[in-house]
Amino acid sequence: MAGHSKWANIQHRKGRQDAARSKLFSKLSKEITVAAKMGDPDPDKNPRLRLAVKEAKANSMPKDNIDRAIKKAAGGDSESYEEIRYEGYGPNGVAIIVEAMTDNRNRTASNVRSTFTKRGGNLGETGSVSFMFDRMGQVVYSAETGDADKVMEAAIEAGAEDVESSEDGHVIWCAVGDLNDVSTALEAALGEAESTRLVWKPQTTTELDLDAAQSLMKLIEALEDDDDVQSVTANFEISDEVMAQL
């Protein structure tokens, strides 16, 4: 029975991973469709669409899925999505920004508010926490791309503002309006990035102990599980010791 139990656990884990992958692809498809609908369906002529396609490819989304999402917008049969930002506080006063795309504002607002309340957070007004973040372009490369000097040189040439290098990889920061040009220049110099997107960068962070980290992660996971939610950002950090226990 132990073998069967182990197999069941592996199957369950694989099922969970497949479900997470499917949910990620759905969110990426939505961004591609909205980007294509708002501008030109040709990624070369539409910076937002180009970045959405690049992010989808970085997450191993099949080309057929990408093409289908673009055609959906071009065909005019796609749902009309509204982009909404929610802001609030999680356990220990951690600031949280939730970005959503929805075809039903009331449903999404109700779900997000309910999730905050159930998981020990408080949903605030728009602008209540975003002043603690900077909106920036972020390009991520693996550590195997090269050493810090090589990446720094390429980033400066590309017009980036800052680079953070560690044993985990390289995070390159740039102004929002420069992300398309910077990522294109970096791709020519360093190859394809692991991730290229617009993010909310915290100006300061709060370090959490194990209990607080567990509570916050439950809130973030519940928010990310909502089909209308595209991304969740929070201004916290967790030490290696706490991370090992999570």
pLDDT confidence of residue 232: 92
Residue 41 lies in a domain: yes
In terms of domains, do 170 and 123 share one?
A: no
pLDDT confidence of residue 9: 47
Residue 138 lies in a domain: no
Residue 115 lies in a domain: yes
| Tokens, residue 85 | 């930002």
CA–CA distance, 81 with 15 (Å, rounded to integer): 29
The whole-angstrom distance between residue 86's C-alpha and the CA centroid of its chain comes to 15
pLDDT confidence of residue 16: 58
The model's pTM = 0.80
93-149 pLDDT tens trace: 999 999 998 989 999 999 999 999 999 999 999 899 999 999 999 999 999 999 999
pLDDT confidence of residue 39: 77
CATH code (residue 92): 3.30.70.980
In terms of domains, do 65 and 21 share one?
A: yes
CA–CA distance, 243 with 83 (Å, rounded to integer): 33
pLDDT confidence of residue 223: 94
Query: How far is CA 134 from each of CA 99, 100, 164, rounded to the nearest angstrom?
Result: 15, 18, 16
Q: Which helix (H) or strand (E) holds 152?
A: helix 148-158
Residue 240 lies in a domain: yes
Counting the structural domains of the chain, the total is 3
What number of CA atoms fall less than 13 Å from residue 31's CA on the CB side? 25
Q: Which of 152, 146, 142, 158 is nearest to 194 (CA)?
A: 142
CA–CA distance, 239 with 232 (Å, rounded to integer): 20
Sign of CA dihedral 73, 74, 76, 82: positive
206 touches 141 (CB < 8 A): no
109 touches 86 (CB < 8 A): yes
pLDDT confidence of residue 76: 65
CATH code (residue 49): 1.10.10.200
Residue 87 lies in a domain: yes
Range of the domain at 69: 2-74
Q: Tell me the pairing of strands 236-238 and 206-208.
A: parallel
In terms of domains, do 170 and 61 share one?
A: no
In terms of domains, do 17 and 120 share one?
A: no
Query: How far is CA 117 from each of CA 91, 113, 235, 239, rounded to the nearest angstrom?
Result: 11, 6, 19, 27
pLDDT confidence of residue 54: 87
| Tokens, residue 154 | 């390429």
CA–CA distance, 139 with 159 (Å, rounded to integer): 12
In terms of domains, do 9 and 114 share one?
A: no
In terms of domains, do 58 and 168 share one?
A: no
pLDDT confidence of residue 209: 86
Angle at 99 between CA 235 and CA 209, to 5 degrees: 25
The stretches in the chain having pLDDT less than 70 are 1-19, 76-78
Rounded to the nearest 10°, the torsion over CA 71, 72, 75, 81 is: -140
